[in-house]
Amino acid sequence: MNVYIETHGCKLNIADSQKISKEILSKGFSISDDLEKSDIYILNTCTVTKSADKKARNRLRNIKKNHPKIHLVATGCYPQRNESEIQSLGIVDTVIKNDKKNQLPIVLSNKFFKETRSESDPVIEDLLIGRTRASIAIQKGCNQICSYCIVPKVRGRENSIHPDEIISQINYLVSKGCKEVVLTGTQLGTYGYDLDNMSLYILLLSVLEQTQIIRLRLSSVQPHEFNDDIIGLWKNKKYKDRLCPHFHIPLQSGSNNILKSMRRKYSTQEFLEIVKHIKTIIPNSSITSDIIVGFPGETEEDHNRTKKLLKISELSEIHVFPYSVRPGTSAFYLKDKVQSSVITKRAKEIRNISNDLKNKHMQSLLNTDQNVLWENKNSLSGYTENYTYFSLSKSTNKKPTLPITKVKVKSIEDDNLVGIISI
């Protein structure tokens, strides 16, 4: 039985899909990258916005229309938030809520095989989803309860995964050829609060000391959760070449009034200070961020504050999210909703600023040497250590012979860096 897994949403979902992949293989299934030859299709959904829900529904309908005999599975955050809505589509064969996601391999095994694999059966070699890069969940759930966010309801309260399990997973991935691991979670900065003598800093140190992973990257950390110990690792001669100088630091709004209404725990000044600090002390670093546009009560003045802050920031790119009403959040009950036409206009303005910042960032990398992790062994493109996409020039004859190669950035084409392998 061939299983095709598609993932929507965050890196935590990617990590979940990778774990599902491994466990499904142990039950005797095969992981496929060819939908046409697959017997089972799994969609690991997101529900952070209305558009994410719509994207999932449209994808499920499309799959069933074009592959009527395939067994359709929906799992993840959308079924957790509204299982009946998924069921009402009338096309999904198996629905697994997010808190039961770990049972998915067993459910499928019971449906398709009379007997599960025994421990004496040969282990089937698994495919590394993400190729040379993999995401590892170190923490799940969130205690922060931001007013706009549905995640605590679909992911539950914060739960730190034990460092021994994380290190074991990374060592396993290294043995399978993985070169880069992204540590992901809903609330990375508070990792370890529920464990004895543990923190994000201690975990990073443990991973660096106890694994041979070549590149280690963090996903999202909030401005107030950085400290000198964490940032100091990127300055440590022993570790700095293995720690990717890319940081995703969510802002959400450039107005302190809106941040307060969102129940965020930092100010715009704290955000700017940590961005400047990182850019000053960590060479070749890049910082990306998130902005929610059109949160209830956002005035034109609030929006202008956001634009002004972003223009003076040293961000390399911004992910723009038009505010989406989520039943079950406290923001659902807020008055002064912003008109959809105004949200659309403001989102376009923020995206224009993001494009300018991204272009400025890429311009700063022209004629520099960067280390690129190729997407797979036959790929001619990949990501630099500061998470900027790079492609080999079509005119070059020299091809990569190693998973990570030093390159020279020569130009910008189609919004990507282009260059040659450095001699």
**pLDDT, position 7:** 95
What is the arithmetic mean of pLDDT over 60-79?
Answer: 95
**pLDDT, position 132:** 82
Specify whether 172 is located in the same domain as 317: yes
Count of domains in the chain?
3
- Report the SS3 class of residue 244: coil
Of 129, 134, 131, 130, give the one whose Cα is nearest residue 213: 134
Kindly tell me if the per-residue pLDDT of 40 is higher than 80: yes
pLDDT band at 115 (very low <50, low <70, confident <90, very high): very low
Top pLDDT among 117 and 55 is at 55
For position 102, which CATH number holds? 3.40.50.12160
Percent of the chain whose predicted confidence (pLDDT) is above 70: 95
What is the arithmetic mean of pLDDT over 188-209?
Answer: 96
Specify whether 265 is located in the same domain as 389: no
Specify whether 278 is located in the same domain as 388: no
What is the arithmetic mean of pLDDT over 323-327?
Answer: 91
Top pLDDT among 379 and 48 is at 48
Specify whether 207 is located in the same domain as 229: yes
Specify whether 222 is located in the same domain as 296: yes
- CA distance readout (Å), 345 to 286, 288, 303, 314, 418: 27, 22, 11, 24, 32
- Residue 416 placed within a domain: yes
Q: What is the pLDDT of residues 225-240, one digit of tens each?
A: 999 999 999 999 999 9
Specify whether 61 is located in the same domain as 157: no
DSSP string, 296-337: TT--HHHHHHHHHHHHHS--SEEEEEE----TTSGGGG-S-P
Kindly tell me if the per-residue pLDDT of 62 is higher than 70: yes
**pLDDT, position 130:** 45
The residue count of the chain comes to 423
Percent of the chain whose predicted confidence (pLDDT) is above 90: 77
- Tell me which residue range forms the domain holding 209: 133-362
Specify whether 307 is located in the same domain as 397: no
For position 291, which CATH number holds? 3.80.30.20
**Alpha carbon distance 304, 114 (integer Å):** 62
> Among all chains, which residue has been given the structure tokens 């079509």?
394
Q: Which helix (H) or strand (E) holds 257?
A: helix 256-262
What is the arithmetic mean of pLDDT over 306-327?
Answer: 95
- Residue 22 placed within a domain: yes
- Residue 39 placed within a domain: yes
**pLDDT, position 226:** 95
Kindly tell me if the per-residue pLDDT of 122 is higher than 80: no
Cα angle vertex 179, ends 176, 183, to 5°? 100
- Residue 123 placed within a domain: no
**Alpha carbon distance 350, 310 (integer Å):** 8
Of 203, 212, 209, 220, give the one whose Cα is nearest residue 179: 212
Specify whether 388 is located in the same domain as 350: no
Q: Who contacts 295 (Cβ-Cβ below 8 Å, separation ≥6)?
A: 148, 253, 258, 261, 262, 323, 331, 338
pLDDT band at 19 (very low <50, low <70, confident <90, very high): confident
Q: Who contacts 258 (Cβ-Cβ below 8 Å, separation ≥6)?
A: 252, 295, 297, 298, 302
Kindly tell me if the per-residue pLDDT of 56 is higher than 60: yes
Kindly tell me if the per-residue pLDDT of 124 is higher than 80: no
DSSP string, 352-408: HHHHHHHHHHHHHTTT-EEEEEESSTT-SEEEETTS-EEEE-TT------SSEEEEE
Specify whether 142 is located in the same domain as 268: yes
Kindly tell me if the per-residue pLDDT of 113 is higher than 90: no
**pLDDT, position 91:** 95
Kindly tell me if the per-residue pLDDT of 288 is higher than 80: yes
Kindly tell me if the per-residue pLDDT of 332 is higher than 50: yes
- Report the SS3 class of residue 141: coil
**pLDDT, position 102:** 85
Q: What is the pLDDT of residues 137-173, one digit of tens each?
A: 999 999 988 999 998 888 889 999 999 999 999 999 9
What is the arithmetic mean of pLDDT over 342-351?
Answer: 97
Q: What is the 3-state secondary structure (H, E, C) of 28-92?
A: CCEECCCHHHCCEEEEEECCCCHHHHHHHHHHHHHHHHHCCCCEEEEEEHHHHHHHHHHHCCCCC
**Alpha carbon distance 362, 351 (integer Å):** 16
What is the arithmetic mean of pLDDT over 44-73?
Answer: 95
Specify whether 21 is located in the same domain as 141: no
**pLDDT, position 308:** 98
**Alpha carbon distance 352, 299 (integer Å):** 19
- Residue 122 placed within a domain: no
**pLDDT, position 118:** 45
**pLDDT, position 396:** 85
**pLDDT, position 18:** 87
- The pLDDT mean for the chain works out to 92
**pLDDT, position 131:** 61
Burial label, 373 (beta-carbon count in 10 A; 0-12, 13-18, 19+): buried
Kindly tell me if the per-residue pLDDT of 127 is higher than 60: no
- Residue 124 placed within a domain: no
pLDDT band at 33 (very low <50, low <70, confident <90, very high): confident
Query: How many CB atoms lie under 10 A from the CB of residue 250?
Result: 18
What is the arithmetic mean of pLDDT over 81-100?
Answer: 93
Kindly tell me if the per-residue pLDDT of 119 is higher than 80: no
> Among all chains, which residue has been given the structure tokens 């040497």?
369
- Residue 240 placed within a domain: yes
Specify whether 225 is located in the same domain as 347: yes
Rounded to 10 deg, the angle between the 163-175 and 200-210 helix axes is 40
Q: What is the pLDDT of residues 245-284, one digit of tens each?
A: 999 999 999 999 999 999 999 999 999 999 999 999 999 9
Query: Identity (one letter) of the amino acid at 350?
Result: I
Specify whether 258 is located in the same domain as 292: yes
- Residue 100 placed within a domain: yes
**pLDDT, position 112:** 87
What is the arithmetic mean of pLDDT over 194-206?
Answer: 97
